[in-house]
Amino acid sequence: ETGVTQTPRHLVMGMTNKKSLKCEQHLGHNAMYWYKQSAKKPLELMFVYNFKEQTENNSVPSRFSPECPNSSHLFLHLHTLQPEDSALYLCASSQNRGGGTDTQYFGPGTRLTVL
């Protein structure tokens, strides 16, 4: 139990569906992250939020839309995904982006399958 929770843990969706992934951290952190882990590939950083402001978008397609309403919650809205978007989506949080050693703590992930 790392203090970072993600829901749902598993999601199957069609290419025309719209769904959202939710992440919540109970650590009092100010920075939150979305990562994607495809089969047999290293983790890829997608988005970074610091104090609710998006500070990084690593060339992620617009069919992935993040939202950070407050420092404890992070969403990833999904629409018109492709089968190659099937992956494990991981959320992480850290104290601050821009100070200290910024150790990131990860949630359990959402296993997404796009049919």
- Scan residues 52-91 and list those touching another protein (CB under 8 A): 88, 90-91
Q: Give the integer Cα–Cα distance in Å for 38 and 64.
A: 15
State the nearest-atom distance from the C-beta of 67 to another protein, in Å. 20
Q: Does the protein bind another protein through residue 107 (CB under 8 A)?
A: yes
One-letter identity of residue 11: L
Strand partners, 92: 33, 106
Which residue in 93, 85, 87 sits closest to 68, CA to CA?
A: 93
Any bridge partners for residue 13, and if so which?
114
Residues 2-61, interacting with another protein (CB under 8 A)? 2, 4, 6, 42-43, 45
- Rounded to a whole number of angstroms, the minimum distance from the CB of residue 80 to another protein is 26
Q: Which residues lie near another protein (CB under 8 A)?
A: 2, 4, 6, 42-43, 45, 88, 90-92, 97-109, 111
